[in-house]
Amino acid sequence: MIKVIIIGSGNVAQHLIAAFQNSQNLGTEIELVQVFSRQIGSVSHLLDLDHITNDFDTLTEADLYIIAVSDDAIAAISSKLPFKNRLVVHTSGSVPLNALDDNNRKGVFYPLQTFTKNKAVDFKIIPICLESENATDFQLLEKVAKAISDKIFAINSEQRKALHVAAVFVNNFVNHLYQIGNEICQEHQVPFEILKPLISETTQKIMVLSPSAAQTGPAKRNDIKTIQAHEAFLSNEDHLKIYKTLTQSIQHNGKKL
């Protein structure tokens, strides 16, 4: 058995706990032996109390320690671990491998997904981006990752940084555009529901077409009349600034082609 310990109790930690428990039920060789949570109560709905600790000194021996905490806390927590030369990884998209303390062997176990509390996700389709200092550790990370996901990628710290920035565009920023769509609808007494099939289809399209082939709209057509009408229509300053910035970027793309 490969023994795994998760350190943390937030969204990512909780989804990982559930995923490892699932895989254990399916009979894989991964065993989640312990979870560290500052507040025992944060994870006590997920596993037995004798598998939870809030004291670093009671951490048992394991093949892999997964630190799933906020970016800012990773370095400090890795330096508090009371052992040496074991494999310790973090789960962050934006923190380099080297942020981990030198006392232990370093690695990254980054599941690229947006996790919502109380919303189950199918971990099998979540890409897990792995990095380690040596090949043996990579093989172990790969075994552990394969127990919960079908999509494993070797991604170094520089590539992971690119992925994380790209993820901000396609997740955080896209969601903010949804919010603006919602605000414009509310302002004009139109149900946001009307836009949902369009939102789904926009996503579906790029599963089969490249985003540049899927691009449509007034900016792409260089339809100045419609663009001006839209700009005149937008009363919110931030909405207008975003409209102009994104329209210009789409127009620049047209010129590059």
Nearest distance, CB of residue 34 and a second copy, angstroms = 28
Query: Which residues within the stretch 95-114 sit at the binding site for a second copy (CB under 8 A)?
Result: 112-114
What CA–CA distance (Å, rounded) separates 24 from 31? 6
Please choose, out of 31-39, 59-67, 99-107, 208-216, the segment that lies near a second copy by the rule CB under 8 A: 208-216
The one-character DSSP state at 134 is: S
Binding flag, residue 245, a second copy (CB under 8 A): yes
List 39, 98, 139, 212, residue binding a second copy (CB under 8 A): 212
What CA–CA distance (Å, rounded) separates 227 from 229? 5
Binding flag, residue 159, a second copy (CB under 8 A): yes
Select 41 or 254, whichever has its Cβ closest to a second copy.
Answer: 254
Binding flag, residue 56, a second copy (CB under 8 A): no
Longest dimension (CA), the chain: 68
Select 134 or 159, whichever has its Cβ closest to a second copy.
Answer: 159
Q: Which residues of 190-200 are buried (b: 16+ CB within 10 A; e: fewer)?
A: eeeeebeeeee
Query: Which residues within the stretch 68-97 sit at the binding site for a second copy (CB under 8 A)?
Result: 71-72, 94
Nearest distance, CB of residue 145 and a second copy, angstroms = 13
List 168, 222, 228, 254, residue binding a second copy (CB under 8 A): 168
Nearest distance, CB of residue 97 and a second copy, angstroms = 15
Binding flag, residue 198, a second copy (CB under 8 A): yes
**Angle 203-153-32 from CA coordinates, rounded to 5°:** 105
What CA–CA distance (Å, rounded) separates 247 from 51? 53
Please choose, out of 20-28, 38-46, 74-82, 154-162, the segment that lies near a second copy by the rule CB under 8 A: 154-162
Nearest distance, CB of residue 123 and a second copy, angstroms = 10
CB 101 within 8 A of CB 81: yes
Query: In 3-state terms, what secondary structure has residue 25?
Result: helix
Please choose, out of 21-29, 44-52, 55-63, 234-242, the segment that lies near a second copy by the rule CB under 8 A: 234-242
Q: Going edge to edge, which strands form the sheet with 105-111?
A: 52-53, 30-36, 2-7, 64-67, 87-90, 105-111, 128-132, 152-154
